[in-house]
């Protein structure tokens, strides 16, 4: 489980082209906002993704990359991205291996978790927000922290 203040595990997902994508490919270059969501094209997940889309330029200007993850396959992600004009990467987590490594639990043991992590450039988890229903708050909290991380002086 990825706890605040600890290094994020270097999990591997499946990218849009079907290639394996490691979290370490992004960590170290930028702050990473990694958000897990239950399913493409569902009401809450669409609202959350569109909220990240609408704030994406703010995340980029603050030095962060947004990455969405669900168990859906690449074809589903491609359709979801096109339908909602999502500018960020969507990765697949077949079997929930990445979610498990990061401690993303299913709600009521049935619904895939909705958890957002902010991972700083050093690979340390700085924030974790877990809520199935407050979908826009995932974006608000992550953006506020990213702006704070990128403006604080280096230690």
- Sign, CA torsion 51/39/86/7: positive
pLDDT of residue 43: 94
**Whether pLDDT at 154 is above 70:** no
pLDDT of residue 155: 46
Query: In sequence order, which residues have a C-beta less than 8 Å from that of residue 99 and are 6 or more positions away?
Result: 36, 69, 71, 93, 112, 113
pLDDT of residue 151: 65
What topology does CATH give the domain 12-150? Glutaredoxin (3.40.30)
2-60 pLDDT per residue, tens: 788 999 999 999 998 889 999 999 988 899 999 999 999 999 999 999 999 999 999 99
Cβ 46 vs Cβ 134: under 8 Å: no
Which residues are catalytically annotated? 45
Give the CB-side neighbour count of residue 142, counting CA atoms within 13 A. Answer: 34
pLDDT of residue 38: 94
The ranges assigned to domains in the chain are 12-150
Q: Which residues of 4-34 are buried (b: 16+ CB within 10 A; e: fewer)?
A: eeeebbebbbbbeeeeebebeebbeebbbbb
pLDDT of residue 152: 58
47-106 pLDDT per residue, tens: 999 999 999 999 999 999 999 999 999 999 999 999 999 999 999 999 899 999 998 987
Q: What crossing angle do the helices spanning 135-151 and 43-61 adopt, rounded to 10°? A: 10
pLDDT of residue 85: 97
């Amino acid at each position: 489980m990825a706890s605040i203040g600890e290094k994020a595990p270097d999990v591997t997902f499946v990218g849009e082209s079907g290639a394996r994508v490691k979290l370490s490919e992004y960590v170290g270059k930028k702050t990473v906002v990694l958000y897990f969501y239950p399913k493409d094209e569902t009401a809450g997940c669409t609202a959350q993704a569109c909220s990240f889309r609408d704030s994406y330029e703010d995340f980029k200007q603050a030095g962060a990359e947004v990455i969405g993850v669900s168990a859906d396959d690449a074809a589903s992600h491609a359709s979801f991205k096109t339908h909602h004009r999502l500018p960020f990467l969507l990765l697949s987590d077949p079997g929930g291996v990445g979610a498990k490594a990061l401690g993303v639990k299913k709600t009521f043991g049935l619904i895939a978790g909705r958890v957002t992590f902010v991972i700083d450039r050093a690979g340390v988890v700085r924030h974790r927000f877990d809520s199935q229903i407050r979908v826009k708050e995932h974006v608000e909290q992550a953006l506020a922290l990213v702006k704070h991380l990128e403006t604080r002086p280096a230690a």
